[in-house]
């Protein structure tokens, strides 16, 4: 599936994409925070395991999604569109 550039997307497509990315990113960040807390708790109880690095390994996805939302906001600002 090929994605369009933000400059080629309509205003409604940009707003819809922004909303879905923000929702997904918030859910992922919440789950990663939960996993991080659980891993810290389990590390004190049972010691470290290979699963301890999973929240840290998935953190770049959250960062990429946040940057994507910023890019969409820049495109919307250049079009003088607000939510």
Residue 1 pLDDT:
45
Sign of the C-alpha dihedral computed for residues 60, 64, 69 and 70 taken in this order: positive
Cα-Cα end-to-end distance for the chain: 27
Q: How far is CA 5 from CA 22, 45, 47, 75, in A?
A: 18, 48, 46, 10
| pTM of the full structure | 0.82
Query: For residue 22, what are the domain limits?
Result: 10-78
Residue 81 pLDDT:
73
Residue 9 pLDDT:
87
- Residue ranges for the chain with pLDDT beneath 50: 1
pLDDT digits (tens, 9 = 90+) for 9-18: 888 999 999 9
Q: Is residue 2 part of a domain?
A: no
Residue 82 pLDDT:
67
Q: Is residue 5 part of a domain?
A: no
- Number of compact structural domains in the chain: 1
Q: How far is CA 73 from CA 10, 15, 51, 56, in A?
A: 13, 9, 35, 27
């Amino acid at each position: 599936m090929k994605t369009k550039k933000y400059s080629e997307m309509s205003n409604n497509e940009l707003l819809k994409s922004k909303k879905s990315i923000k929702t997904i990113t918030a859910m992922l960040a919440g789950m990663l925070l939960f996993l991080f807390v659980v891993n810290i708790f389990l590390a004190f109880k049972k010691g470290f395991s290979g699963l301890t690095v999973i929240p840290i390994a998935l953190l770049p996805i959250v960062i990429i999604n946040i940057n994507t939302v910023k890019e969409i906001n820049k495109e919307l600002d250049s079009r003088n569109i607000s939510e």
